[in-house]
Chains A and B, each alone.
Chain A
Amino acid sequence: MTWLVWRQHRKQLFFALAALVVLGAFFVGTGRPMHDRYERDGLPACLPRVERALVVLDVASQPDEPDPAPSVPKGVTKPADDTSRPDAAALADARCAQTARAFFNDYQNVVSVGLLLLILPMLAGMFWGAPLVAREIEHGTHRLVWTQGVSRLRWATTKFGLVSLAVLVITAIYAGMLTWWITPAIATSGQRFDYVFFDIHGIVVFGYALFALALGICAGAVSGRLLTAMATTIVGFVGVRLLVMLAARGRYRPTEQRSLPDLFAGYGQMRNDLHGDWIVASHASAKGTELLTVHPADQFWTFQAIETAIFVALAVPLLAGAVYWVRRRVT
């Protein structure tokens, strides 16, 4: 049975591996220069610190160098809130943020290619999942293979299991390459929770791929027609993804309130985008400062885990349903 699954799907496997190679070439080709610049700009060193700050100095309104401290005459105490000059650390942070912003602006086009990668899991569902049962039925070969010595249960579980495994392995390789490639862009954008960035990196891609695959397989088993299964996969995948993304994702964890310090006291400051929070809403507080409703940056992996779990939880009954349908099917 294992031999049969391999022989039937080896072409698809080769295509997937070839696609991985092409993607890999693209990632390395565009990623090498990005990483080189990222390191040259000193970003890996300064970003971890900057990310901790809620606000940074608005460097555009700061002089390049801090003024030398005015000499204080003997006997006069320095005023407590001497904000006449910014300290060096804050300045460094601000410059780091500025460099990061410049980096991101330069590479934005390359990264928007990432939008295309959003459809990869769906392709797995369409070209690996949908034909799995549908093509057998359309070609009538189910009447050949289901009258040999294996039960339909064993046929279905072996086939679905091995193909799922292959998809997971390929997804792992892909996810590894992608994460390396996209790390500089994400770090310099601070928008880890953003609709594109959240979806294409991290572990959610495993959930999406498994879900799309299960959807394709189930649609193929129920309809027995390849085109119907592919269409259902597209509609179902896009629909569910949008639903989860727009309606559910914001609700995984309760939000927190962050109040920003007064941006206009002393030196001009601005909100630090690199902090990485998911900003849901912002109000003006009574004091005239900004009050943010956020999902904190450190919740990122929790959110990823929850979303992955949702899609895996959707995939499991779809696969079980497909097995059930194959067994009960009247030919």
Chain B
Amino acid sequence: MIGFYITAASAVPTYMQLVEQVRQALRLGRLEPGDRLPTVREVAAAVAINPNTVLKAYRELEHEGLVEGRAGQGTFVVRSLAGPPPQTLDALRADLEAWVSKARAAGLGPEHVKAVVDSTIGPLLEAEASA
């Protein structure tokens, strides 16, 4: 079951934060097709936000084809966003951990590691997005 979290001071509207968290959960395999999302009431009460905001988020997800509302039963995930299977993700994670250990062994502090990572992947992903 997904647990939602809202950052009040964010520039991102609340409903988009919820949408993004559902997408993230789908990507990481924490939500799978067939899973039921919490009811509007449950989310509104748990996070202390306007129920209409939750409704808006669920409608957006429905619009994107990720979920489907079934009358009397709830809102269900119908599509997955998961990319490669978990094993691939695990292998990639292992590679990343190895690289980080190497960088630390070479004498890079934590901030330096993050800077190297950001400065490398930043341009790479942007180049991909604009391609």
**Chains A and B share a contact (CB less than 8 Å):** no
Residues of B within 8 A of A (CB): none
Residues of A within 8 A of B (CB): none
